[in-house]
Amino acid sequence: MTASMTRPGKIIAIHLSYASRADQRGRRPAAPSYFFKPASSVAASGGTVERPAGTELLAFEGEIALVIGTPARRVSLDDAWSHVGWVTASNDLGLYDLRANDKGSNVRSKGGDGYTPLGPELIDARIVDPAALRVRAWVNGDLRQDDTTAGLIFPLAQLVADLSQHFTLEPGDVILTGTPAGSSVIVPGDVVEIEVDAPDAPGAPSSGRLVTTVTQGDVPFDADLGSLPAVDDLQRTEAWGSREEAGLPAEATAPALSPELRAKLLEAPTAGLSAQLRKRGHHSCFIDGVAANIPGSKIVGTAKTLRFVPFREDLFTTHGGGYNAQKRAFDAVDEGEIIVIEARGDATTGTLGDILALRARARGAAGVVTDGGVRDFDAVAEIGLPVFSQGAHPSVLGRKHVPWDSDITISCGGATVQPGDIIVGDSDGVIVIPPALAEKIADDTLAQEIEDAWIAEQVAAGHPVDGLFPLNAEWRARYEAATGAGSDTGSRS
């Protein structure tokens, strides 16, 4: 640190603030949340940080640090930035081996000596635009992070104003404002450099490069005093940034919907498929209350899920506008997928309209299933996109819903739907098939359809249904003799 910067009384850090990091983690907070770091964790540029003995997941996080210049207590958003005296670089180091035990407090995982390097130079906050700051990080000379405050979920001034609601921010206090995507694991011998600058401001002021070298510790943690370091694949994935970077095998995925299986399911009616699911103990496979916008539609595809939560003014402000979860889902749907929307069975507002239907059609979506309403109902039908819904409604999404998240487990029409589940819909309704069962379900359904067609012929010829539907032993023997079918086909009830 420069000589002009005193040891802070408080260090407050935000858990998650950059959109790039939130997207990497698969979760976007509705409001900022924080943790404290001890002043003893502060270190100057050019120092070292120790990776403790028996640990493996020490990670760097390049961040912009705000240094409070004048006391701030219950300040407004408009006034908040005036209480920031300086901006500088920080490295919010963390030890993922201890993170699970801290449960979000980060006391041990981020409180170690040397875990908050700051500096080396201070940038006068009055000469920079807080929305146009840049943070970059290098490891052994390779650029690992490069993002600007334009990518923040929560503006810098909001953090100051929010914290000042709860306690006084005093001169010298430091706010660590979060890290963008690119944070990863560092090992002994690595050299990390962090720089914060304002490239568009006059003179392009910079913090200079904050340099920290990783060393290996040799003193283990004492098991008699507290919990020991422990890691699992989740911690490895989050510390490294991805399973691939962590050297882990790709997660098992649901069996793909092959062209052959798709063809079988297109031929198989949902009534028959549901009967086969019931035989295997699956009684909650129905998406109730929905019907097709195009009579005679048949859809088969894998689920891409989208969840709406009940409308709330503040949440719609943060999640409803811009490139929200609804738009992202329709922009990312792949060929052959079906967008399945959780709208809590509320038919009194639209959950999609003609523009998004056009986008889904252009992307090759197999259809949409929503337990809510549809705007531009006739126009969506004219586009040719099959949509199973509760019917038409002219209102916009924001009347009842906030688009919240996608690619998660949802509830639609009383059925649980996971990404990758197989969705089949026809004039009888829509069902959800676990991917691992789909091949056998399809085969048995088609076999049953052949049997049922033969039974229908016998009924049409004048035979009573008693003993014929379902087949008793005598009639089954006749069926097998007439068709050459095996004896393992079931019956429909």
Interval 411-436: pLDDT, tens: 999 999 999 999 999 999 999 999 98
The pLDDT of residue 492 is 42
Percent of the chain with pLDDT over 90: 73
Domain 283-433 = CATH 3.50.30.40: yes
Residue 116 has pLDDT above 60, yes or no: yes
Rounded average pLDDT over 52-71: 96
Is the confidence at residue 206, as pLDDT, over 90?
A: yes
User: CATH class for domain 11-240?
Assistant: alpha beta
Mean of all residue pLDDT scores within the chain: 91
| Confidence band, pLDDT 50/70/90 cuts, at residue 377 | very high
**CB-based burial, 273-307: b 16+ in 10 Å, e otherwise:** bbbbbeeeebeebbbebbbbbbeebbbbbbbbbbb
For residue 255, what pLDDT is reported?
A: 56
Contact 152, 19 (CB under 8 A): yes
pLDDT at 7: 87
Provide the token pair at 50.
């120790």
At 384, list the tokens.
Answer: 């040719």
- When pLDDT is averaged across residues 72-76 and rounded to a whole number, the result is 97
Residue 179 predicted with pLDDT over 90: yes
Measured N-to-C along each axis, helices 354-362 and 325-332 cross at an angle, to the nearest 10 degrees, of: 30
Average pLDDT on 314-331 reads 87
Task: Classify strands 11-14 and 367-370 as parallel, antiparallel or unpaired.
Answer: unpaired
Rg of the chain over all Cα atoms, to the nearest angstrom: 30
Work out the pLDDT band at 490, boundaries 50, 70, 90: very low
Q: What percent of the chain has pLDDT over 70?
A: 96
Residue 191: exposed, middle, or buried by beta-carbon count in 10 A (0-12, 13-18, 19+)?
middle
SS3 59: strand
Phi-psi region of 344 (alpha: psi -120 to 50; beta: other; left: phi over 0): left
Segment 79-88 shows an average pLDDT of: 98
To 10 degrees, the CA torsion angle through 284, 286, 287, 290?
Answer: -150
Report the C-alpha gap between 75 and 365 in whole angstroms.
49
pLDDT of residue 468: 83
Which of 101-110, 133-142, 358-367, 384-393 is least confident?
101-110
Mean pLDDT of 70-86: 97
Please tell me the distance from the alpha carbon of residue 415 to that of residue 432, in angstroms, as a whole number: 8
Under a CB-based contact definition with an 8 Å cutoff, are residues 73 and 147 in contact? Answer: no
Secondary structure element (H or E) that encloses residue 360, with its range: helix 354-362
Rounded to whole angstroms, the Cα distance separating 239 from 246 reads 8
- What's phi and psi for 83, nearest 5 deg? -90, -5
Position 339 scores a pLDDT of 97
- pLDDT score for 249: 84
Q: CATH 3.50.30.40 in the chain: give the residue spans.
A: 283-433
Structure tokens at 150: 């334009």
Where do you find CATH 3.90.850.10 in the chain? 11-240
Average pLDDT over residues 116-144: 96
Q: Mean pLDDT, to the nearest integer, of 274-298?
A: 92
Residue 101: pLDDT band with limits 50, 70, 90: confident
